[in-house]
Amino acid sequence: MYEYKEIYRLDFTNVKYYRQMHEVIQKELDFPDYYGCNWDAFWDCMTDMVGCDPIHIQIVGLEVLRQKKYDDVIEKLITLLRDSKYYYDKKYADEILIEIIDENGNVTVVE
């Protein structure tokens, strides 16, 4: 559980349905087998990681989710990742880097 990686890469380019998106999250972030594949479970697992090691997450393939009309899902994911940076009142905010990489290779840092 929570094996440290220098970069956690959430690649959604091959996602065909909602649950598969959570499977990508679970596998790449090394969430436990009992991960519930929902946003409450995501929050619980994500905040368990905060403060253990630096976290660098790259998100790729959001355009695939947008094509599937998952804009609300994208917003929820980004919001929860952003909120996790400040889970301990900014204590670990500088240790968490979240980047969105678009189909052209442009990088946007989530603040």
Residues 91-111 have a mean pLDDT of 95
pLDDT of 1 reads 60
Q: Would you say residue 1 lies in a domain? A: no
What would the pLDDT profile of 17-66 be if each residue is shown by its tens digit? 999 999 999 999 999 999 999 999 999 999 999 998 999 999 999 999 99
**DSSP one-letter string for 8-57:** EEEE-TT--SHHHHHHHHHHHTT--TT--SSHHHHHHHHHHHTTTS-EEE
Strand partners, 17: none
Distances (CA, A) of 32 to 36, 56, 59: 9, 19, 20
Alpha-carbon span 111 to 101, nearest angstrom = 14
Q: Would you say residue 45 lies in a domain? A: yes
Quote the domain boundaries for residue 85: 8-109
Q: Provide the domain count of the chain.
A: 1
Q: Which CB contacts under 8 angstroms, 24+ apart, belong to 40-44?
A: 42/77, 42/80, 43/80, 43/84
pTM over 0.85: yes
Q: Would you say residue 92 lies in a domain? A: yes
Q: Would you say residue 15 lies in a domain? A: yes
Residues 67-72 have a mean pLDDT of 92
Residue 97 in tokens = 């880097």
